[in-house]
Amino acid sequence: MRFLQLSATTRVQRHDATARAEEIINRCGGWIVDFSLFSNIMTVLRFEVPVARLPELARGLAEADLHLDEPSQTALRAMTGEGEVFGTLQLTFIHGEPDLRREVPPIPG
């Protein structure tokens, strides 16, 4: 299986941006395999999608105000053929909010 690494920035609120990306991936016949959250700065989605639907994925992300960087756009254009592609979509959120703080309970003992 081939691998595709995408990176996008957005000013859309992080929950909404993540939901938009998930909806677009699903609409393209793909699915989210896993995800990682990095405070309120970044989310990384790991996904699989048919190679033939990648142009639709790129258009959908642009229409959702999730702006792919130039290397991501180049990688998308270069990916041709049939089958599935495994990929990551790194969403970086541009905002003035402070980092999220999580209270970590002490370990008993």
Burial of 2 (0-12, 13-18, 19+ CB in 10 A): exposed
- Residue 109 placed within a domain: no
* Contact indicator for 42, 88 with CB cutoff of 8 Å: no
- Residue 58 placed within a domain: yes
Average pLDDT, the chain: 93
The CA angle 40-45-47, to the nearest 5 degrees, is 170
Query: Is the whole-model pTM more than 0.85?
Result: yes
Q: Which domain holds residue 80?
A: 2-93
Mean per-residue pLDDT, 5-32: 97
Please tell me the distance from the alpha carbon of residue 28 to that of residue 68, in angstroms, as a whole number: 17
Report the number of distinct structural domains present in the chain: 1
- pLDDT by residue (tens digit) across 42-82? 999 999 999 999 999 999 999 999 999 999 999 999 999 99
Residue 91 pLDDT exceeds 70: yes
